[in-house]
Amino acid sequence: MSMIFFACVVRVRDGLPLSASTDFHFNQDFLECRKRLKALSSILAQYPSRGTAKGRDLSIHFLSSGDIACMAICSSNYSTIMAFCFLEELQWEFAASYDTTTVSLASRPYAFIEFDNIIQKVKCHFNRASGTQTKANWEKIEEELKFQPPVQLKLEDAELMNGVTNGGHAGVHVEVVPTYRMQRVTPLGILSLVLNIMCGALNLIRGVHLAEYSFQEDHEGIGNVIAFFLPFLACVFQCYLYLFYSSARKVKTFVLFFSVCLCNIYLYGLRNLWQIAFHIGVASLSSYQILTRQLMEKQPDCGV
């Protein structure tokens, strides 16, 4: 049967498994292939970003980018193009869920085991996809593979490659780092940017003037200076979050919004209620725009 049997996400630098699909295949060929996949995962840094280890009945495909690699065990008659479509989709899903810092700090195997639900979902989609559903995107993927063909390995040798450095020479290759395109900027989004810049400028000007006075005469006013500078920084970061993709956007957005609210409440007396309401209103609008501006759909989607 032509299908994907197993998939996992590993860390390239040391082969640490981060997440994997739940498999119920216990035949000897599959278990041997799992061993070779584990051996291969520990030396992925030596190879280009795409590779295939072919066997008689089963094959291993891998796709790496940065410090993350997605690997899959498929039947040998499963389309190589479809296998890399699957791995690209899996890699995109993982990158959208976890940032590079979280991945680099992972210290135990399967630290992101909850991601196996997504692996299973994507795997089922590709196993059920018919040729007519995917044919439209085959040419695009085929072009990518022609431009950057996968390195060909022998499955029988994969187990022996663990710890071997090919005579001390590792292949040099250029990694293609995934980029994330955001949805088009809306007129309301532009308005929120302009208002945010204006609020940031007001906070900076008031903070600088108050700092000059505080350092010369009123040392007790340092708290007010900080309460002006923090919203200024929050405005800058809100503009950044709206314009560019960042992991954990929701958490960062709420932290910035509550920082603006708390600082403006602290400044009651130096600002009247209307001024406080204006700054909090702008922060609310900016937060809403950040949360509603999403990533564009990944292209190509391979028909799934």
Separation between Cα atoms, residue 229 and residue 201, nearest integer Å: 10
**Strand, coil or helix: what is 129?**
coil
Architecture of domain 4-163: 2-Layer Sandwich (3.30)
The structural domains of the chain, with segments of one domain joined by +, span 4-163, 187-292
Q: What is the pLDDT averaged over residues 33-37?
A: 89
Buried b (16+ CB within 10 A) or exposed e, 8-46: bbbbbeebbbbbbbeeeeeeeeeeebbebbbbbbbbbeb
Q: Give dist(CA 193, CA 230) in Å, integer.
A: 18
210 or 217: which leads in pLDDT: 210
Q: Which helix (H) or strand (E) holds 71?
A: strand 68-75
pLDDT at 280: 93
H-type alpha helices, the chain: 28-41, 80-97, 100-105, 116-128, 131-147, 155-158, 187-216, 222-243, 249-266, 273-292
pTM here? Answer: 0.54
pLDDT for res 135: 56
Give the tokens for residue 158.
């994969």
